Structure 1
């Protein structure tokens, strides 16, 4: 996978596809919420998030992707639906930094829940 494919997969919740590309000492910061400081911690959180994704219908939309050398930024939205009703809507930007071995070294996620957003 290319760096942009890895970033897109992670941002879209396809975490298992990205596990082999995580550096052992990867750092994932979900700004204002959580901090995961090694591959095992990141993978454990991904598994918890995946469980939530399986409990709802998800609608991911990527609005922008910017890539420059070892950096990739992915912006988009995620709508979560349960019982035909919107359970949550999030606007997000994930910034990925790859090390010299093309492994994910840092992930910084900015997630904003929008309670009154109506999707198109």
Structure 2
């Protein structure tokens, strides 16, 4: 099944990585601002696999607040809440900026993840 740029970005931002692996360019760069940079399809796939394993250990609640689309970019703005045993363990406000090449593959992701401060 062929996905639109919007669908690809939405699936990735919601942690449904297995559905979009064919849409990663070989030279993809994923910059999780201030944390990590993953360069190349294998590095991005490995990080997606590790993240998916973490998601299996918690309850995840993703909410998309807005999606902005231009010719080769999709911006997904939303939140992610993680719970374990019914207790919130993390809450993230996020903005993912996806840049696509002419083959409809993601060539760059810039992820801005801001954790809620515990008071």
- Consecutive unaligned residues of structure 1, counting only runs of 5 or more, are none
Hey, what's the Cα distance between the residues in 1 that align with 2:53 and 2:115? 19
Q: 2 CA distance for matches of 1:10 and 1:84? A: 25
Match of 1:20 in 2: 22
TM-score, scaled relative to structure 2: 0.96
Deviations 1:49-99 (CA, angstroms, capped at 9, x unpaired): 101111000000000100001100000000000011001000000000000
Q: Which residue number in structure 1 is paired with residue 71 of structure 2?
A: 69
Which of structure 1's runs of 4+ aligned residues deviate more than 2 A? none
Aligned length: 117
Aligned counterpart, 1:83: 85
Gaps of 5+ in 2: none
1:115 deviates by: 3.0
Q: Is contact 1:88-1:115 (8 Å) kept?
A: no
Cα distance in 2, alignment partners of residues 70 and 6 from structure 1 = 12
Q: 1:57 aligns with which of 56, 59, 64?
A: 59
Q: How far does residue 116 in structure 1 lie from its aligned partner after superposition?
A: 3.6
TM-score by length of 1: 0.95
Give the Cα–Cα distance (whole angstroms) in 2 for the partners of residues 70 and 113 of structure 1: 28
